[in-house]
Homo-oligomer: A and B are copies of this chain.
């Protein structure tokens, strides 16, 4: 497996792969890989001839005071895991390679980025859509793979691909969880052991919501109230948001109908975790 840090070298390799008629699968990541990422990579390898994974902690999608500096990085460990998962090339550019001095062009989705994580993290999705556009142009994949854990991200990127007529398809794979239900995330590494226990509140409250809905509850306010109640019992937990919105347009609803997203961001200590559940009624 190759590790490439230059855009030009990555583009040359892509040209070579394409000229052989091979399909390209792409898994963009910020590294510190977990089973969620590795599942995306294995699936990419099943569906495409050639798999590129990018590892790039994108400063543009971090706000002031967020964890850009502390975000865990371990390229040695990541390359070993990626290779085992079937990745053919890791693209790991520097910040300067991606955003040279004078960089000034941005891509922005303006309709579904002002809620949920977009509301809590202004500019976050502008950073995501910009870097992903660049990566798509560099890697030129047929398929790009994302995890359902970042539900809003997938919706925003699908909208971007459709609106800008990009030549690829986005595939979203289910959230991969630890045995006890915690959604896998590189940020879980920030948690100490008591926080790790409290972090279960996210998946537990989603399970509870699902049970309520299966028992017939359709009132969004009641479901949100029950989730709030469960999470706020724990003094380590502080809710950033709990929302239930329609899919795929992320509009507010009073009663569940059709396809909806229950999404939450919760600080456990200083660590902000997200989780979500798609419900169909």
| One of A51-59, A105-113, A210-218, A258-266 contacting the partner | A105-113
* Minimal beta-carbon separation of A17 from chain B (angstroms): 14
A133 and B106 CA atoms in complex are apart in Å by 12
Of the listed stretches A34-42, A76-84, A164-172, A194-202, name the one at the interface; the rest are far from the partner chain. A164-172
Looking at A110, A111, A164, A165, which has the most chain B CB atoms within 10 Å of its CB? A165
Could you give, for residues 135-151 of chain A, a 1 whenever the CB lies within 8 Å of some chain B CB and a 0 otherwise? 00110100000000000
A154-192 contacts to B, CB under 8 A, are 159-160, 163-167
Q: Which of B7, B104, B137, B163 contacts A105 (CB 8 A)?
A: B163
Q: With an 8 A cutoff between CB atoms, is A134 at the interface?
A: yes
* CB atoms of A137 and B167 under 8 A apart: yes
Residues in B neighbouring A104, C-beta threshold 8 A = 109-112, 159, 163
Q: A104-B111, A108-B105, A110-B104 are in contact. Are A164 and B133 (CB under 8 A)?
A: yes
Given contacts A165-B7, A165-B134, contact A159 B105 (CB under 8 A): yes
Chain B residues within 8 Å of A7, by CB: 165
For residue A99, which residue of chain B has the nearest CB?
B163
On chain A, the number of residues with a Cβ less than 8 Å from chain B's Cβ atoms is 28
Interface presence of A102 (CB below 8 A): yes
Other-chain residue from B106, B133, B164, B166 in contact with A110 (beta carbon distance below 8 A): B106
A276 is an interface residue with CB less than 8 A from chain B: no
Residues of B within 8 A of A105 (CB): 107-110, 129, 159-160, 163-164
Provide the bound-state CA to CA distance between A7 and B167, in Å. Answer: 12
* Bound: A163/B129 CA distance, A: 13
Residues of chain B within 8 A of A106, CB atoms compared: 107-108, 110
Report A's interface with B, CB cutoff 8 A.
Answer: 7, 11, 102-112, 129-130, 133-134, 137-138, 140, 159-160, 163-167, 249
In order of increasing CB-CB distance, the 6 nearest A-B pairs are A104-B111, A105-B163, A137-B165, A105-B109, A105-B160, A104-B110
19 A–B contacts, CB within 8 A, in A order: A7-B165, A11-B165, A11-B167, A102-B111, A104-B110, A104-B111, A105-B107, A105-B108, A105-B109, A105-B163, A105-B164, A106-B107, A106-B110, A107-B107, A134-B163, A137-B164, A137-B166, A137-B167, A140-B167
